[in-house]
Structure 1
Amino acid sequence: MMRHGFILLTFCAALAGCTAAPAQERRPIAWDGLGQNPNRPAVTKRRAANHTPVNHTPVESDPNQERERVLGTLRPYSDAWWAVHDEIEAENDRQLGSKLVICRSCVAQPPSEDTTGSIR
Structure 2
Amino acid sequence: MMRHGFISLAFCAALMGCAAAPAQERRPIAWDGLGQNPNQVPKRPSVTTRRVASQTPAESDPNHEREKVLGTLRPYSEAWWAVHDEIEAEKERRLGAKLVICRHCAQSPPSGDATGSIR
TM-score range relative to shorter protein: 0.5 to 0.7
Task: Give the percent of matched residue pairs that are identical in Structure 1 and Structure 2.
Answer: 63
- TM-score scaled to structure 2, two decimals? 0.56
Deviation at 1:34, TM superposition (A): 5.1
* d(CA) in 1 for partners of 2:90, 2:34: 36
Gaps spanning 5+ residues in structure 1: where? 1-14, 22-26
Structure 2 equivalent of residue 87 of structure 1:
86
Q: CA RMSD in A?
A: 3.6
Measured against aligned partners, the alpha-carbon deviations of 1:49-98 in whole angstroms (never above 9, x if no partner) come to x6435324431111101110111111111110110001111111111111
* d(CA) in 2 for partners of 1:38, 1:93: 35
Deviation at 1:35, TM superposition (A): 5.2
* d(CA) in 1 for partners of 2:61, 2:71: 16
Structure 1 equivalent of residue 61 of structure 2:
62
Q: Give the alignment of 1:23-102 within 5 angstroms.
A: 30-33=30-33, 36-44=36-44, 47=46, 51-52=50-51, 54-102=53-101
How many residue pairs get aligned? The number is 94
- TM-score scaled to structure 1, two decimals? 0.55
* d(CA) in 1 for partners of 2:39, 2:53: 22
Gaps spanning 5+ residues in structure 2: where? 1-19, 113-119
* d(CA) in 2 for partners of 1:28, 1:16: 15
